[in-house]
Amino acid sequence: MPLRTLLLLPVCAHKRVVALIGLGNSVNGYSEKDAERLGILISQAAITLEHARMRTERNRLQAEVASLAGQLMRAQEEERKRLSRELHDGLGQDMTAALISLQCAKAETPSKAGKAHLDQAGSLIRRAMDDVRQMSQNLRPALLDDFGLITALQREAKGFGRLSGLEVSLRLPRQSDLHLGTAEETALFRIAQESLTNVAKHAKATRVVVTLRCAAKEVCMTVSDNGRGFSVEEARRKTEGPQLGHQSIRERVKLLGGRADLTSKIGRGTKISVRIPRRDA
């Protein structure tokens, strides 16, 4: 069809021409008013399309960031597991062998001074072995891999109570009732660790309660203390303190499709609650 009349208008977004829209072969031709009206419609459409594009791009970037965060967290856990194994199987065994050698040397040393020095060296090695064992446990508790979340939480609470002097109460289901994957169990264990650390560092509490419940479609964990509490709104404006620890907890939970809530009042303690979907739900 021959082109007799043409109205060509630019589609602009952020002062940039992103497209051209053309109308042709009007019976009565095109007036400036036609161009003005069509320009208004095009401008509105361009704004709508640009907003849609920006939302799509933002969602894509958020998904990419979440994916990278998940990969980083998994890589961290794998590295923790590797370091824990090397400390236990490598350095731990070497120190055990050194201790045995010292004991053999002590049996063959006639002088009291020599035996005293060997005893002192043995004490230092035993202390270092305890430190290595504790570091290995903190990096990746073997109990979590071998016996599951419940046993690992029980051991963690016992060790935390001994070191911090706080009373730690546990309200836990049976391991057989959890039906969680490795990622979920690891996340819940790390959340409990992070929460207990926050209590010890910031709460000035005497008692902390860890509760784990299994619902039909999710598993819920709460960690509450009887400490001094704080203003949540004020903490959000700071870059350190309890809010920073809770932010890492939120990130862990978000990656598993769950949610985390923090409640605290000055003088009334603090409670962190997390909900994570169950894989078998």
pLDDT digits (tens, 9 = 90+) for 239-257: 555 555 677 788 889 888 8
Q: What is the pLDDT of residues 63-113, one digit of tens each?
A: 777 677 667 767 777 777 777 677 767 777 777 888 888 888 878 777 888
| Residues whose CB is less than 8 angstroms from the CB of residue 130 and which lie 6 or more positions away in sequence, other chains included | none
- The rounded distance, in Å, linking the Cα atoms of 135 and 85 is 11
At residue 149, the pLDDT reads 92
Pick the CATH number of 148-281 from 3.30.530.20, 2.60.40.10, 3.30.565.10, 3.40.190.10: 3.30.565.10
Q: ∠ at Cα 69 (68, 75), nearest 5°?
A: 90
Phi, psi for 229 (deg, rounded to 5): 70, 180
CA 262 to chain centre: 15
At residue 171, the pLDDT reads 96
At residue 280, the pLDDT reads 57
| Residues whose CB is less than 8 angstroms from the CB of residue 96 and which lie 6 or more positions away in sequence, other chains included | 129
At residue 243, the pLDDT reads 55
Phi, psi for 274 (deg, rounded to 5): -125, 145
Mark the ranges of the chain whose per-residue pLDDT is less than 50: 281
Domain ranges of the chain: 6-69, 148-281
> How many CA atoms are closer than 13 Å to the CA of 219, on its beta-carbon side?
23
At residue 38, the pLDDT reads 82
At residue 246, the pLDDT reads 78
At residue 228, the pLDDT reads 92
